[in-house]
A and B are shown apart, each in its own frame.
Chain A
Amino acid sequence: GNSVTQMEGPVTLSEEAFLTINCTYTATGYPSLFWYVQYPGEGLQLLLKATKADDKGSNKGFEATYRKETTSFHLEKGSVQVSDSAVYFCALKGAGNNRKLIWGLGTSLAVNP
């Protein structure tokens, strides 16, 4: 079945550091891939998405590229801010009749000033 593997946290960085959160997936066909962010005390919100191979999703300085050859969708940001402290979730929606979003376990990011 479909699955998502996300790097474990917590990740602690200093402000302006480079961020990578790894996400790899297993799926048949061509799934859609998503990154969601959950700020403290809030619900999840979509950060970016990509729906086909080689697509790059980007938002708020974050980027992720859909890599079919490595089955990966790693999240990157060149210079993190304190306000980026949150939990980040990688997710996959399969093709066909599978209607569930498959979630990674979440990676907690803390950015120190």
Chain B
Amino acid sequence: DTAVSQTPKYLVTQMGNDKSIKCEQNLGHDTMYWYKQDSKKFLKIMFSYNNKELIINETVPNRFSPKSPDKAHLNLHINSLELGDSAVYFCASSQDSTRNQPQHFGDGTRLSIL
């Protein structure tokens, strides 16, 4: 059973379009995250939710909007896609947001903007 699953795995689309990435975890965790990884493997936290409450909201364009319908799901909607949005987006979860808890990652969504 996949612990953290993201869909789609690949997303190729044109500039200006709107797209969504979905994430689900079956670990019973309270906290979920979205990361962006660029071509040099640099990881940047974007958002985090703890039990459906937004707890981390980094400096990202407001074209990015997360939604957590329940604590097992965290989706990411992106409006008006730009070339610079091309990256791999990772969803992750942890039991809670305390310091000892490791994060479990999905396999990533590879977003390419044409």
Residue numbers of A with Cβ under 8 A of B are: 31-32, 34, 38, 41-46, 49, 51, 87, 89, 93-95, 99-101, 103, 105-106, 108
Contact = CB atoms under 8 A, between A and B. Distances in A.
Contacts, number: 53
Interface string B98-111: 01101111111000
B56 interface: yes
B106 A43 contact: yes
A34 B41 CA distance: 17
A44 B99 contact: no
A95 B69 CA distance: 29
Which DSSP category, helix, strand, loop or mixed, fits chain A's interface?
strand
B48 interface: yes
Contacts of B97: 99
B56 A106 contact: no
Contacts of A93: 99-100
Contacts of B108: 42-43
Contacts of B34: none
B105 A44 contact: yes
Interface in B21-36: none
A52 B86 CA distance: 38
Contacts of A31: 99
Contact of A51 (B40, B56, B90, B100): B100
Given A99-B48, A99-B97, A100-B56, A87 B41 contact: yes
B68 to A, nearest CB: 15
Contacts of A108: 41
A51 B98 CA distance: 12
A43 B43 contact: no
A46 B103 contact: yes
Nearest to B43: A103
